[in-house]
Structure formats: C-alpha cells, structure tokens
Amino acid sequence: MKEAVKLAARVALALVLVGSAVAATEVTILYTNDLHLRLSRLESIAALVAAERALSDCVLLFDAGDTWQDYRVPIFAVWGADEMVEWMNKTGYDAMALGNHDFYWGARRLSALAEAADFPLLCANVVSTGDAPSFAASARMAVCGIDVLVVGLVTEEYFPYFDYPWLVPIDAAHAVRAEIDARSDGADLVVCLGHVPVSDARAIASKVPGIDVFLTGHSHEETPSPVRVGETVIVQSGAFGRSLGRLVLDVDPLSGAKQVASNGLLPTEEAPAPVGRGLVRLLEVLALVASVLWIVLS
C-alpha cells in the first residue's frame, strides 16, 4: 500500500513538472542602447534581428535611448534622426526609452520624431506641468501569450533642459513603483527600459523588487553576464551598435516564475553608410552660423 502511495506521489510530481515545462514560454529580448546614430552598424543589427525572428515568434526588440542624436560628432548633431526612426520602424522595435541626447533636439523636433515612430517612447520619471508630452510613462504589449509591462526611465543627470521648462524630473524608483502598482495587474513580465547606468539600475532594483528585467544605457557598459539584484536581471549592450544584446527567458505565466536561459552580446559588422545628405546638411548649418556671426560682428 505504501509503495502504491509513493508511486502515485511520484507520478503526480512528474505530471506537475511536465505541466510546468509545457506552460513555460521562451521569450527572447533583443536590446540596443546608445546607438548615437551610428548608421554604419544598422544593416548588421537588422540582419541579426531578422535571424532571431526566423527562429522564434516570441521576440521583443527594445532600445534604451541616446539613439537619435550625438552632439559630439558634428554630422550627427544636425542630421540622421529621421533616417534612424525610419530604420527602427522597418526593423520592428517594440519600444524605446528616451535618452538625454534624444532630448537635445528640442521640443518641436522631438515631438515630430515621436510622431514618426511606430513604437512608444517611454519615460516615467519626467512629468509635464503643461501640455501632454510626446512620450508615455509605460506601455503594455504581448508576445506569444505573455503579457509584458514596459516602464521607461531617463537619467536625471542633465535636467532641467532649457527647451522644456514644463518638464519636471521625479524620483526614478518612485516613478517605476507607481507604474508597477498602477499597471502591472495581469502582467507576466515587468521590464524597465531605462537610460540609466548599471549602478543606478542596481539602486532602483533594490528599492523596487517587482522589476524582472532592467535594460540599461547611458554608461556604455557591456554585461555579457547579467547583473542580479534579488530577482531583477540587469543588462546593457555597450554603445554605438557594436553589439546586439540577446536575453532569453523562460516565463511561466501560471506560476509567475522567470528563469534566464541565456544572455549574450552578438557582435555586429560595420558597413559604409550613406551620409551624403548629412554632409550637405552640416554645410548648410555651418553656412547659416557663419552668416549669423558675420552679421553680429560686422
């Protein structure tokens, strides 16, 4: 009798384990950050993304900001954002966090870029005291039956910006916690898409335990092995499109369990980029600046 009970218990346990394995869904999260308009890497990134999607339908693609501008390089300080948005739309990004460089375009230009994007721009820790901003605090999406909440963040390092007097930064941990409390009901996976360094992500995750994945930026760090804070997995792909981050999770919506199957940085290749229009634009801007200086100084 005892042997029969033991056998039944083993069978029941096996059925539970099998059921859990069947219920779990493998989700691939591809991530970039700090691309800074490096157009020469885009073709390679797009090819890697397409290869991943050919292997699985359960793929999400995110960017953690500083994507549409780079004032340190003259040509990218005046040109390239439209081309980048067009490429991101074609490549199929699911969401993007705003980086501090993206704000540098100014309110009207940023609003136009946001309108052209087929994906949501996210930033929860900056609130508007005036008109509705061109970005949202968070977004909900689904992949292969997995319900995902994505919350955006930007570094507070350079706020306030003179061109956005109506935007006010708030505490990042408070902002993330508020979005999770308000919108995470029914979500199987909570992703924080933050243009913040790994060190800031660690501090936020220690205060907000509900984050499953924290995709970071700003500090140009590489995390071949994820950084862990409690149950939160923190990653970053470096900078300038040299790598595409690839994080694979086993997500069980029944038990709520999430397990990291793998994480890695897929190297990209550089190719010649069509920057002719950018050079023309740069010359136009330089000519305009020279004209203004001549009028002022003459």
**DSSP track, 4-16:** HHHHHHHHHHHHH
- For residues 241 and 219, the answer to whether their CB atoms sit within 8 Å is no
User: What count of Cα atoms within 13 Å lies in the side-chain half-sphere of residue 206?
Assistant: 7
- The Cα 55–Cα 22 span in angstroms is 19
The one-character DSSP state at 255 is T
Class level of CATH domain 25-297: alpha beta
Which letter, b or e, does each residue of 21-46 get, where b requires 16 or more Cβ atoms within 10 Å of its Cβ? Answer: eeebbebbbbbbbbbbbbbbbbebbb
- The confidence score (pLDDT) of residue 162 equals 77
SS3 state of residue 142: strand
- The confidence score (pLDDT) of residue 213 equals 98
- The confidence score (pLDDT) of residue 293 equals 53
User: What count of Cα atoms within 13 Å lies in the side-chain half-sphere of residue 278?
Assistant: 19
Q: Diameter of the chain by CA atoms?
A: 105
Q: Which two tokens stand for residue 137?
A: 């605090």
- For residues 49 and 244, the answer to whether their CB atoms sit within 8 Å is yes
- Residue ranges of the domains in the chain? 25-297
- The confidence score (pLDDT) of residue 74 equals 80
State what percent of residues in the chain have pLDDT above 90.
70
- The confidence score (pLDDT) of residue 275 equals 64
Angle in degrees, 0-180, between the axes of helices 81-91 and 107-116, rounded to the nearest 10:
30
Encode pLDDT of 226-275 as tens digits. 999 999 999 999 999 999 999 999 999 888 889 999 999 999 999 876 76
* Full-model pTM: 0.86
Q: Which two tokens stand for residue 160?
A: 């306030």
Q: Which residues of the chain have pLDDT under 50?
A: 5-9, 11-21, 288
- The confidence score (pLDDT) of residue 286 equals 52
- The confidence score (pLDDT) of residue 20 equals 43
- The confidence score (pLDDT) of residue 3 equals 58
CA angle (258, 261, 262) in 5-degree steps = 130
- The Cα 89–Cα 83 span in angstroms is 10
